[in-house]
Structure formats: C-alpha cells, structure tokens
Amino acid sequence: MAKSSKAESAEPAEPETPETAPSKGRATPTRKEQEAANRRPLVQGGRQTAEQRAAVKTQRARAQAGIAAGEERYLPPRDKGPQKRYVRDFVDARWNVGELLMPLLVAVILTYFFPDIASYALIGAWGLIVLVLVDCVVLRFQLHKRLAEKFGGKDKVERGVAWYAAMRAIQLRVLRMPKPQVRRGEYPR
C-alpha cells in the first residue's frame, strides 16, 4: 500500500539547541517557591480585631434584648406583624392548660422510679394531653373570631395564626420569646 501519511511526509523537526530556544529571562522557580506563591489563607479577610468582636457582641446583645422586648425590627419573620402581636398578647393574657404539660411530663418520667404509680401518672398525662388539645381548639375559635373583628373579616386573618397561638400556649410563660408584654387577664382590644 502506497498511502503516505502526514507524519511520514513531514520533515523531522530540528531539536532546539540552547542557541535557538527562546529565553525566559529568569531561573525556573523551585517547588518550594512555587507552593509558597500558590498558598492562600483559608479565610479571606483575616481575623477579627478585639474591637470588631466587641462590636458584634454588643450588636447581638442589643438584638437579643430587642427580641425579648418584642421590638418589631429585631423579631424573626415568624413573629412579625400586627396580627402576631395581637395573638401573643391574647395568649399571654389567658390561662392555658398547655403550660402545665411540660412540668407534668417531667413528673411522669420521674414516676417510673415508682412502678406502682407510674401507670396512673401515665393515664393522667394522656388526660392532660387531651385537655391541651381541647384548649387549643377553643383558643383557635376565640382567636379567629377576635382577629376577624379587629382586622376586617375572616379573609384578612393570616394563615398559621392558630398554630402560632397553640405553640405559644403550650410553652411555659417564663420561657416564651418574645417575653409576655401583658399580665394575665389584660386582653388586647
């Protein structure tokens, strides 16, 4: 077969000699020098100074105090808005059965050291859970009625306010965030 390929037809290239090679103008860097040039810090921007840490700490403390006081600009999105404020005040003004749930469940756990009364305590805990559910349903209907009156109709009531109210009603009053702004019996208008 008389096929000729390009490789065969091309003339062999002359090997570069030091006289014909283009010059870099500098020596080849060592591996150590090249690795040092490529090294970058893991965190860009460096470390914080003591003043920056103090400023962040005071800002965080101010935000925490603002959340506890119920200041609107510091609240997370789930707690913002006039309807959520109304819900918080309504739940905080009310006596809720759910506030008894956590202490009672701790007591039930402790009764397992006494097997004679453990089953009775467990039955009592289930009874309280049923009462909490009934209380949350009653709270939902009371709240939706009041929110509809105050904010202009049932279609103006935000979604999720009943769940928000139920979760707040189940928490111990001293652990609620934002902290309660009203006393018991001081229902919002």
Q: Which amino acid appears at position 125 of this protein?
A: A
pLDDT at 40: 83
Q: Residue 35 — left, alpha, or beta (φ > 0 → left; ψ -120 to 50 → alpha)?
A: alpha
> Which of the residue ranges 43-47, 74-78, 79-83, 105-109 would you say has the lowest mean pLDDT?
43-47
pLDDT class of 143 with cuts at 50, 70, 90: very high
Spans of all domains in the chain:
51-77, 81-175
Confidence of residue 81 (pLDDT cuts 50, 70, 90): confident
Of 138, 137, 136, 158, the closest CA to residue 147 belongs to 158
Q: Indicate the length of the chain as a whole number.
A: 189
DSSP 137-163: HHHHHHHHHHHHHHHTSGGGSPTTHHH
- Among residues 134, 135, 154, which one has the least CA distance to residue 145? 154
**What percent of the chain has a predicted confidence (pLDDT) above 70?**
89
Q: What is the dihedral of CA 35, 36, 39, 41, to 10 degrees?
A: 160
CA angle in degrees (0–180, nearest 5) for 173-97-90:
60
DSSP letter at 72? Answer: T
pLDDT, averaged across the chain? 86
